[in-house]
Amino acid sequence: MITANDPIRINNTLVKNRLTMAPTVKFDYAGEDGKVTDKHIEHYRERAQHGCGLICVEATAVTPGGRFAKNHMGLWEDEQTEGHKAITAACHEYGAVVIIQLNHTGITANPQCGPAIGPSAVPTRDPEVLSKEMSIDEIHDMQESFVSAAVRAKNAGYDGVQLHGCHGYLINQFVSKKTNLRQDEYGGSDENRARFCAEIIRSVRKECGEDFIISVRTTGIEPDIATAISVAEEYVKAGCDYLQISTGIEWEDPSAKEVEGHYNKFCSLGVHFHEHFKGRIPVSCVNGINTPEQVRYLIENGLTDTVDLGRAVLADPAFCEAVLEGAPYSKCFDCPRCQYGPMMPHKCPAYSAIAR
């Protein structure tokens, strides 16, 4: 039986256990220059120190216009690389593998940062305003922005990158039929709608080498699980090494079901993907996994390869030790609006209790 303590190989990199930290943005850490701060470094160091096997650093903008807000970390220029070296060094010091999530907001762009652009002209945050449909040249330029950010990530010491392909952002917008109305090679079929991301994967592989981990955090339903898996197949064909499964623009497939006491319907998407891709590439589950018992159930029953932890390791960085060693921990309060982020000030009651 595989346990949470067992190592796993992702591409050619050995991860020491099956626990991974999900990317959660820290909005009040960065400044308008998008550079890493000491708060970022200590945040990730603390999670690595307490045993997390793989850490995925928060969504990081590949262009200034693709930020969530003006205080959003970036990798769109070389001057931002130095701070990322400190993050990777802090994580590697404790034996954690570390990758970084690369993102562009697309049609959900913050108007303070840049224009709403996407695969098609569709309603934006303001329903009366349509996004700008990207030309082929603009698509290729954006792909190059992702690849350039990946090269900077490698130069900063990251073991790989994760392409943010869910939660309604640009890559997800190309995948969804609600936001992609194109009739050219980037629209229509599953293969065409996956092409934007698949071409990025191939270019990152060419520029960053065979050993560099390329992960995609992809939507588990779009508009159903079968279509989402079909899209993920294109990513795997292109060279994706690792799939982390989350939600997208549509998530109403009734075959996504909760397993009472063990995991919710969003987490079940990863279970579906794991069953499909079993033995080919590792798959990770996420969402609502806040107790050691849930983690152990998913891994020991062969339902996922890794478990992606968000609120649990925000509430207590020692959560991984609770899973791996049975150590005590401070449990997430499951606040309706998470008080540690991504959108709220960092006033997590569980974490505050530890700090005191």
Per residue in 28-84, pLDDT (tens digit) is 888 999 999 999 999 999 999 999 999 999 999 999 999 999 999 999 999 999 999
What integer pLDDT is reported at residue 345 of this predicted model?
Answer: 55
| Whether residue 346 has pLDDT greater than 70 | no
Confidence (pTM)? 0.96
9-18, 134-143, 207-216, 346-355: range with lowest mean pLDDT: 346-355
What is the overall mean pLDDT for the chain? 95
349 pLDDT band, cuts 50/70/90, is confident
**pLDDT, tens digit, for every residue of 233-277?**
999 999 999 999 999 999 789 999 999 999 999 999 999 999 999
**CA 230/CA 253 separation, integer angstroms:** 15
What integer pLDDT is reported at residue 132 of this predicted model?
Answer: 97
What integer pLDDT is reported at residue 306 of this predicted model?
Answer: 98
Measured CA to CA in angstroms, residue 349 lies from 50, 140, 194, 336, 353 at distances of 19, 45, 40, 13, 6
Top pLDDT among 127 and 345 is at 127
Could you tell me the two tokens for 317?
């960085």
3-state helix vs strand vs coil in the chain, percent to 5:
40, 15, 45
Could you tell me the two tokens for 33?
């220059």
Q: Is residue 2 part of a domain?
A: no
What integer pLDDT is reported at residue 353 of this predicted model?
Answer: 72
Please, where are the H alpha helices in 239-344?
265-277, 292-300, 311-315, 319-325
Q: Is residue 280 part of a domain?
A: yes
**pLDDT, tens digit, for every residue of 268-278?**
999 999 999 99
Q: Is residue 69 part of a domain?
A: yes
| Whether residue 225 has pLDDT greater than 90 | yes
Q: Is residue 125 part of a domain?
A: yes
Backbone phi, psi, residue 43, to 5°: -60, -50
What integer pLDDT is reported at residue 334 of this predicted model?
Answer: 87
340 pLDDT band, cuts 50/70/90, is confident
Q: Is residue 117 part of a domain?
A: yes
Radius of gyration, alpha carbons of the chain? 19
Domain of residue 71 covers 8-355
CA proximity to 134, closest of 153, 112, 114: 114
CA proximity to 75, closest of 151, 9, 176, 5: 151
**CA 333/CA 349 separation, integer angstroms:** 7
CB-neighbour burial class of residue 161 (10 A; exposed 0-12, middle 13-18, buried 19+): buried
**pLDDT, tens digit, for every residue of 111-132?**
999 999 999 999 998 888 999 9
What integer pLDDT is reported at residue 342 of this predicted model?
Answer: 52
Average pLDDT on 157-163 reads 98
Q: Is residue 93 part of a domain?
A: yes
Q: How many domains does the chain have?
A: 1
What integer pLDDT is reported at residue 271 of this predicted model?
Answer: 98
Q: Is residue 177 part of a domain?
A: yes
Q: Is residue 19 part of a domain?
A: yes
| Whether residue 208 has pLDDT greater than 90 | yes
What integer pLDDT is reported at residue 341 of this predicted model?
Answer: 60
| CATH code, domain with 26 | 3.20.20.70
Where would I find the beta strands (DSSP E) of 171-327? 213-219, 242-246, 283-286, 306-309
28: left (phi over 0), alpha (psi -120 to 50) or beta: alpha
Top pLDDT among 219 and 345 is at 219
User: pLDDT over 90 for what percent of the chain?
Assistant: 88
